Amino acid sequence: MSSSSSRAIGDFLGEAEEIIENLNNDLIVLDDCAAEGSCDPDLLNRIFRGAHSLKGLAGMFGFDDISSLAHHLENLLDHLRLGKVPLTNGLVQLLSEGFETLSRLVEGKGENPDFTFDVSAMRQRVEQFLVGGSDEEADPEMDRIDPEILAVLTEFEEHRLRENLKHRLYLFKIKTDFDLATFDQDLAVLTDLLKKEGEVISTLPLSADLTDRIAFQLLFGTNLPEGELGVLVGPGLAVENLLPPSEPPSPSREMILEGEPPAASGREVTAENAPAMETSARSISRTVRVDIDKLDLLMNVVGELVLAKAAIGRVCEKLKGEGGNELGTELQKATRVLERRLEELQKGVMEVRMVPVAQLFDKMNRIVRKVASERNKRIALEIQGADTELDKLIVEDLSDPLMHIIRNAIDHGIEPPEDRRAQGKSEKGLICLSAAQKGNHVVIEVRDDGRGIDPEKVRRKAVERGLIPETAKLSREQVYDLLFMPGFSTAETVSDLSGRGVGMDVVKNNIALLSGMIEMESEVGVGTSIAITLPITLAIIKALIIRVCDKIYAIPINSVMETMMVETSSVRTIERKEVIELRDSTLPLLWLGDVFQLSDRGNRRARFFVAVVGFAEKKIGIVVDELLGQQDVVIKSLGESLAFVRGIAGAADLGNQKTILVLDVGGLMSETLRGDSAFFA
Amino acid sequence: MAKKILVTEDSSTMRALIGSTIAAIGDYEIVEAANGFEALRILPREKVDMVLTDINMPDINGLELVSFIRGNANYKHLPLVIISTEGSERDRLKGLDLGADAYLVKPFAPEELQQLIRKFLG
């Protein structure tokens, strides 16, 4: 395949994913519409257009599987928007499955353009929905409409016109003109205003003889009499009643497919006093779609540059050490300039990689709906902080763990409606998904108002599984930690959703790979909250380089609070844990040499170094032999085989061709704070 | 000077595809509009020689664009081709009634489009 055609396929896949993403988002709203029994025609038309575009695009690339399924879905959506089939939750469910099938095909073709599977069963199900659809009956009122107006209406717009004639009292032709530079915003202001009182059926640009201005003729269906409409839109707009009502006003409006209810704010904005805005960039795209691999490559190059800069820095130091050398001073100056520019470059590349978590949250929204309907639970999802930004790579890798946590919340957390009613809770369970930036970290929290985690039940299960002895006395936190142990599942039956062979232990490991930390809080009967703390970006980090015995490690600097030298004599033992006093509090110590079985505790020196690490209230002291200083390091993946080594989050390149291991601070901390002896086994 | 063709189409992939198909047969300048509004803004600014338009678009539809172009003294002579996806036969015929010169159904073979461009622009 030529590179240009493979790029074209790449474009197609990108756009197809975007279309499906938008379709899915619109479907969520449509689902609510189906429940409420009324729907915004614009929404229906948008969904139809999405399927329609996908069909056309896929056809151009010869992807007949996508094209044919999209065609069937489009057909169904066409019937739906033309009112030939009723909008039901079942239909929305079918559409959702259809879009998911499309998404799977698109994803598969991303791997291999020849990827396909049989979609005929799906197509048949769509066809079954079309059976019994009724054709639109002719409406004598239509004959009263000027054929010139009808000539520019698409089939859908004609249908909307008919609907308006059936259910609304008046049909107006509104003529107006705007400045060519700002007409799209001006028109949007007018349309938004009109939409509160009816439906804008079509927008026809007129070929009036105007320079720098453009005229439009809107077709508007409403129950507002002409006088009131005139007040609404203000003077200067020509309003013409196309169909003076022949019957007295009918009070019934319930049959109308209605948009959003009129907004509370009654601010009158007319085309005349509309705020002057700058020329729109809304429709002219200012963004480019970039392959994440290309960004990774850029990031890696920047990383290498940072390391090269460090090497030059070392040469500078060396020259300085050898005594006053003019060249040395010049080199140092040049290095500083390089350093500053490099920082800017690094920051720039990092910013490009930052994306809001909104997309991820939208995906979770769909999962909540899907899983909830499959498990017959009613759940509302509340989303907060969707505009919080994270490295694109982290967002991607977060998807699976987050999905798992949410599935768990639905499966095991939220009770069935009848149980909730019995407990005096609202039948509809609540899951709250939030993101917030805290310094160099982002905290993502999943909270539910379900049954909570019963520590006694978890303990019993752990005893049954032989994970802990019968007599073990565990704190609440220690009990929660059991949930993160491999193979632990409290569900009576493993559900096909949560139990995809992935346990919370994998979730925890995945989070650790992102240098993150996971914490759980729960109260029986009230709910559970799981918080994931993540660094904002991964690729290049500042690290504290330390030595233990003859091994060098890196500790991400954003988790280091301070470093200190400690006399061995000041170490005390409390509840079999070694601690030191640190400003009125006790700091648990972790001997890194023990963790990695490097040193013999016998030959301890009189003093040692401690790096105090932690997030917020929780901290521990990591005992090391030497602090070697701060440095930028480029994080590299460890690869599959080493992915789950405890205590290690990844590998980093030091620049002098040395690779060192980066500590998993979150993991080490929870193990230490828990006092888990199994960790050292 | 290279002849200018306005491509009004909401799919960026489709615009790129149309552009490269046309570029393959000669020196044409492609002006892209992602929706009808953009087309309305481009028309008075750029002296285009031909218009290709989709029908199903947000804001104004392709039929309305055709009607606008055919009703305006400055543009009424422009060759105008509707490119739309199969299934919108009625809308396509309406387009011809409104004065479009030809239509093309997606998916189309590159040669079909190229032939139309040659026919109208030489």
pLDDT value, residue A168: 77
Question: How large is the ipTM?
Answer: 0.85
Cβ pair B85:A11 closer than 8 A: no
pLDDT value, residue A610: 92
Contacts of A78 (CB under 8 A, 6+ apart): A48, B87
Q: Does A67 touch chain B (CB under 8 A)?
A: yes
pLDDT digits (tens, 9 = 90+) for A203-216: 988 876 667 788 88
Task: Tell me the shortest Cα–Cα distance from B22 to chain A, in angstroms.
Answer: 15
Which listed CATH number (2.30.30, 3.30.70, 3.30.9, 3.30.1490) goes with A140-241?
3.30.70
> Where does the pLDDT of residue A167 fall: very low under 50, low under 70, confident under 90, or very high at 90 and above?
confident
| pLDDT average, residue stretch A534-544 | 75
Residue B46, helix vs strand vs coil: coil
pLDDT value, residue A655: 61
CATH number 3.50.50.60 is the correct assignment for the domain at A357-535 = no
Q: Count other C-beta atoms under 10 Å from residue A488's C-beta.
A: 17
Q: Does A60 touch chain B (CB under 8 A)?
A: yes
For chain A, the average pLDDT equals 79
Place of tokens 């639970």: A377
Cβ atoms A582, A613 nearer than 8 A:
no
pLDDT digits (tens, 9 = 90+) for A495-514: 444 444 457 887 888 888 77
pLDDT value, residue A134: 56
Homologous superfamily of A3-130 in CATH? HPT domain (1.20.120.160)
C-alpha A607/C-alpha A598 separation (Å) is 18
Q: Does B32 touch chain A (CB under 8 A)?
A: no
Residues of chain A with CATH 1.20.120.160: 3-130
pLDDT digits (tens, 9 = 90+) for A578-609: 888 888 788 899 988 888 887 666 556 778 89
pLDDT value, residue B39: 93
> Where does the pLDDT of residue A261 fall: very low under 50, low under 70, confident under 90, or very high at 90 and above?
very low
Cβ pair A59:B63 closer than 8 A: no
Nearest to A622 by CA among A676, A678, A677, A671: A671
Higher pLDDT, A681 or A406: A406
Residues of chain A with CATH 2.40.50.180: 540-680
Nearest to A614 by CA among A650, A571, A643, A585: A585
Residues of chain A with CATH 3.30.565.10: 357-535
A52 in catalytic set: yes
pLDDT digits (tens, 9 = 90+) for A131-161: 755 555 566 677 778 888 888 888 888 888 8
Task: Tell me the shortest Cα–Cα distance from A49 to chain B, in angstroms.
Answer: 7
Cβ pair A15:B11 closer than 8 A: yes
| pLDDT average, residue stretch A376-387 | 88
Homologous superfamily of B7-108 in CATH? Response regulator (3.40.50.2300)
* Residue among A52, A79, A159, A412 flagged as catalytic: A52
Higher pLDDT, A486 or A57: A57
A408 in catalytic set: yes
* Residue among A24, A74, A412, A445 flagged as catalytic: A74
> Where does the pLDDT of residue A678 fall: very low under 50, low under 70, confident under 90, or very high at 90 and above?
very low
- pLDDT over threshold 50, residue A662: yes
A440 in catalytic set: no
Cβ pair B87:A206 closer than 8 A: no
Q: Domain A292-355: give its CATH architecture.
A: Orthogonal Bundle (1.10)
pLDDT digits (tens, 9 = 90+) for A425-450: 888 899 999 998 876 678 999 999 99
Q: What are A404-407's contacts with CB under 8 Å, separation 24+? A: A404/A498, A404/A502, A404/A504, A404/A506, A404/A507, A405/A446, A405/A507, A405/A530, A406/A364, A406/A367, A406/A368, A406/A371, A406/A431, A406/A433, A406/A446, A407/A367, A407/A371, A407/A497, A407/A498
Task: Tell me the shortest Cα–Cα distance from A150 to chain B, in angstroms.
Answer: 10
Question: How many residues are listed for chain A in this entry?
Answer: 681
Cα-Cα-Cα-Cα torsion B57, B62, B64, B65, nearest 10 degrees, comes to 110
C-alpha A674/C-alpha A679 separation (Å) is 10
Query: Among partner residues A11, A154, A204, which is closest to B13 by beta-carbon distance?
Result: A11
Q: Domain A540-680: give its CATH architecture.
A: Beta Barrel (2.40)
Q: Which residues of A touch B87 (CB under 8 A)?
A: 52, 55, 71, 74-75, 78
Q: Domain extents for chain B?
A: 7-108
| pLDDT average, residue stretch A249-255 | 36
| pLDDT average, residue stretch A388-399 | 86
Residue type, B116: L
